[in-house]
Chains A and B, each alone.
Chain A
Amino acid sequence: MPDSAKAKPHIKPSKLKTDMAVDLIGVNKWYGDFHVLRDINLKVKGGERIVICGPSGSGKSTMIRCINRLEEHQQGQIIVDGVELTNDLKKIDEVRREVGMVFQHFNLFPHLTVLENCTLAPLWVRKIPKREAEEIAMYYLTRVKIPDQALKYPGQLSGGQQQRVAIARALCMSPKIMLFDEPTSALDPEMVKEVLDTMVGLADDGMTMLCVTHEMGFARQVADLIIFMDAGQIIESNVPEEFFNHPQHERTKLFLSQILH
């Protein structure tokens, strides 16, 4: 195991090539006959933090999963840092290399150690030498405060630790954009904070982030913009202050009254 890297290894800070990190223009998506995303328009500039909330089934997960093409959209344009997502596999790979994702259920690779989980993509996708990949992995594992778990298997960690590994794994690819799909919903209450703290740290570093979450405290603290979705469409978007204090749409008011006690 490499020493838990104290000094930051030569990690190239990845900058966006364009001003616009994510641009969704008139995006529509159907599951069979079911219209899940309806005319979604969303622009995310570099360094912006977007929090997306809404009732379950509102299409918020589907929307961010379209951004790295885990889901396919049928109409409209999705442009990620100047690359439009189409059926072109090269473009899809290009986007996925630059976009990190953290899932509700972690999706760590159970047959690999924590360290291997983190070095896998840099080794095989970025073709970084093993030593360097391990240095980078240890740097990020230190950052999410679990360098001492590097040689364990994911199954031996707690949920909160696993989710932090998942964040470190995504960061090891030095992504320009991070997507979070309900990262704390599957965690025990006591572990939510450690994951949120990690995310706040990331936001402070200026990472472009799109988070689907119901952690309203987190939203208030870091979001530049909050988006409320229902029935496959964006109902309301506003800065946190306004969103929480003066919601406009009836549906938003109802939603907020349900979750803020």
Chain B
Amino acid sequence: MTMSEGDLAVMELRFVRAAMLESQPPPAGMRGAVGWLRENLLSTPFNITLTILIGLLFAWIVPDLIRFLLIDAVWSGADRDACRELVQNRTVGACWPFVFERWPYFVYGSYPLSERWRVDVFFVMLAIGVVWMLWLHAPRRGLGAIYFFAVVPITAFILLTGWRAIGLEPVDTVLWGGILVTIVVAWVGIVVSLPLGILLALGRRSPMPAVRLFSITFIEFVRGVPLVTVLFMASVMLPLFVPEQYSPDKLLRALVGIALFASAYMAEVVRAGLQAIPKGQFEGAMAVGLGYSQMMRLIILPQALKITIPNIVNTYIGLFKDTTLVFIVGIFDFLHTVEVSRIDPKWASPVTSTTGYAVAAIFYLIFCYAMSRYARATEARLGLSDRR
């Protein structure tokens, strides 16, 4: 018996699986270093071009950088002559003795020599607090929060400004400077702007018109004004309205200005996060009986803040670098101390400025990169519950 073509077609349509297929390992090219290279660096012609271009860029910059910072660098000397090509008769790179000599000034500004231990104590306390807060497996993290948000600020205030009653000479903030000021300004900005930003963001979404109007006005006003203007207003205009003796300290005014400025930006960042939370989360929280503050604290904000971590850290990094603007109202932050030192005639040489700026760049890079890395790690950790 022969089969017609019609029979054949029917035969091909019918199919019943006899044995289930076992899962197989992927082909060799997909795994290991080769697989990684292929997938990440060489996947498309465009990608290959990019890889080559970036490789060339590194090859162009990195050797010069190493030569300047390390190989040709001057490591010892007493004054500018050590760093001058004409005197040394060789190619001169970074002028490190300048940095070594000026380092205490970079760190403390004009803080009295005999009192600088107080700044060191503050740095140590702050470092302990930061590690305690950020290291997830640290013991007693609840206590850490109290330490970080209550003990450190109060102690730091007493320690740094001084209190005669306990034998600490008052130190005028005019004398503060360098890394001390940068850290103080950034720290206050960071610690104040997040809670204040959250409040403003919640206020902006509040059903109460007065609260909403206040939040919107504040946010839009502050965002609509450059930071430099805010600082100017805080330090130049405020004293015009407030009698001299009641007028707060110059550094304090700058601190308040920066903190409020950062809060307005933070508010918008947080609001974006709140906006992204599905309505169902609010309804789910309300339906189980949570009140407004519980709903926000336990359900909405944890999720909203999690998705805004990259933006929050972005704002923090921006804030950290914006602290350099306080120089405009005559406060000596780290960059300003570098700036003042590099024009010191004692160290005047063609490489002094470059060296000073390189130090500043490395300093800011370390801090900003650390923030960025920590944020990445946090994102990865919280990503566990991401799969909805």
Do A and B come together as binding partners? yes
5 closest A-B pairs by beta carbon, nearest first, are: A107-B284, A155-B387, A121-B288, A101-B287, A107-B280
B244-289 contacts to A, CB under 8 A, are: 280-281, 283-289
A118-168 contacts to B, CB under 8 A, are: 120-121, 124-125, 153-156
Contact B286 A96, beta carbon cutoff 8 Å: yes
- B112, CB-defined interface residue at 8 Å: no
Contact sample, A vs B, 13 pairs, CB 8 Å cutoff: A70-B286, A70-B287, A103-B283, A108-B284, A110-B385, A111-B306, A124-B294, A125-B288, A125-B289, A125-B290, A153-B385, A153-B387, A155-B385
User: With the chains together, A125 CA to B289 CA distance in Å?
Assistant: 7
Contact A170 B288, beta carbon cutoff 8 Å: yes
Q: Taking the nearest CB of chain A, how far is it from the CB of B226, in angstroms? A: 37
Additional A-B contacts beyond A96-B288, A121-B290 (8; CB < 8 A): A89-B291, A96-B286, A99-B287, A100-B288, A107-B284, A110-B385, A155-B387, A173-B288
Contact B298 A124, beta carbon cutoff 8 Å: yes
User: With the chains together, A1 CA to B62 CA distance in Å?
Assistant: 54
Decide yes or no: A93 and B289 within 8 Å by CB, A103-B284, A124-B294 being known contacts: yes
Neighbouring B residues of A153 by C-beta, 8 Å: 384-385, 387
A-contact bits for B92-111, CB 8 A (1 contact / 0 none): 00000000000000000000
- A218, CB-defined interface residue at 8 Å: no
Contact A105 B280, beta carbon cutoff 8 Å: yes
Neighbouring A residues of B299 by C-beta, 8 Å: 109
Number of interface residues of B (CB under 8 A): 23
- B29, CB-defined interface residue at 8 Å: no
User: With the chains together, A154 CA to B284 CA distance in Å?
Assistant: 14
Contact B290 A111, beta carbon cutoff 8 Å: no
Decide yes or no: A109 and B290 within 8 Å by CB, A124-B298, A153-B384, A153-B385 being known contacts: no
- B302, CB-defined interface residue at 8 Å: yes
Q: Taking the nearest CB of chain B, how far is it from the CB of A45, in angstroms? A: 23
Q: Taking the nearest CB of chain A, how far is it from the CB of B379, in angstroms? A: 13
- B386, CB-defined interface residue at 8 Å: yes
Neighbouring B residues of A154 by C-beta, 8 Å: 385, 388
Decide yes or no: A107 and B294 within 8 Å by CB, A96-B286, A154-B388, A173-B289 being known contacts: no
- B349, CB-defined interface residue at 8 Å: no
B-contact bits for A66-79, CB 8 A (1 contact / 0 none): 00101000000000
- A176, CB-defined interface residue at 8 Å: no
User: With the chains together, A170 CA to B280 CA distance in Å?
Assistant: 15
User: With the chains together, A169 CA to B289 CA distance in Å?
Assistant: 12
- B303, CB-defined interface residue at 8 Å: yes
In-complex Cβ contact of A109 among B281, B286, B386 (8 A): B281
User: With the chains together, A125 CA to B287 CA distance in Å?
Assistant: 12
- A29, CB-defined interface residue at 8 Å: no
Interface size class of A (residues with CB under 8 A): 20 to 34
Contact A121 B280, beta carbon cutoff 8 Å: no
Contact A107 B298, beta carbon cutoff 8 Å: no
Closest to B279 in A: A107
- A97, CB-defined interface residue at 8 Å: yes
Q: Taking the nearest CB of chain B, how far is it from the CB of A185, in angstroms? A: 14
Closest to B280 in A: A107
Q: Taking the nearest CB of chain A, how far is it from the CB of B217, in angstroms? A: 27
Decide yes or no: A68 and B287 within 8 Å by CB, A109-B281, A155-B387 being known contacts: yes
Contact A125 B303, beta carbon cutoff 8 Å: no
Neighbouring A residues of B298 by C-beta, 8 Å: 120, 124
- Which of B280, B289, B384, B385 has the most CB atoms of chain A within a 10 A radius of its CB? B289
Closest to B299 in A: A109
Contact B291 A93, beta carbon cutoff 8 Å: yes
Contact A109 B284, beta carbon cutoff 8 Å: yes
Contact B289 A96, beta carbon cutoff 8 Å: yes
Contact B280 A103, beta carbon cutoff 8 Å: yes
- Which of A108, A111, A155 has the most CB atoms of chain B within a 10 A radius of its CB? A111
Q: Taking the nearest CB of chain A, how far is it from the CB of B236, in angstroms? A: 46
User: With the chains together, A153 CA to B302 CA distance in Å?
Assistant: 15
Neighbouring B residues of A173 by C-beta, 8 Å: 288-289
Closest to A113 in B: B385
In-complex Cβ contact of B388 among A99, A120, A124, A155 (8 A): A155
A79-96 contacts to B, CB under 8 A, are: 89, 93, 96
A45-81 contacts to B, CB under 8 A, are: 68, 70
Neighbouring B residues of A105 by C-beta, 8 Å: 280
A-contact bits for B356-388, CB 8 A (1 contact / 0 none): 000000000000000000000000001011111
Decide yes or no: A169 and B385 within 8 Å by CB, A109-B281, A124-B294 being known contacts: no
Closest to A170 in B: B288
B189-239 contacts to A, CB under 8 A, are: none
Q: Taking the nearest CB of chain B, how far is it from the CB of A13, in angstroms? A: 18
Closest to B386 in A: A155
User: With the chains together, A41 CA to B386 CA distance in Å?
Assistant: 43
Neighbouring B residues of A111 by C-beta, 8 Å: 302-303, 306, 382, 385
Contact A107 B283, beta carbon cutoff 8 Å: yes
Closest to B292 in A: A89
Q: Taking the nearest CB of chain B, how far is it from the CB of A158, in angstroms? A: 12
A-contact bits for B291-309, CB 8 A (1 contact / 0 none): 1001000110011001000
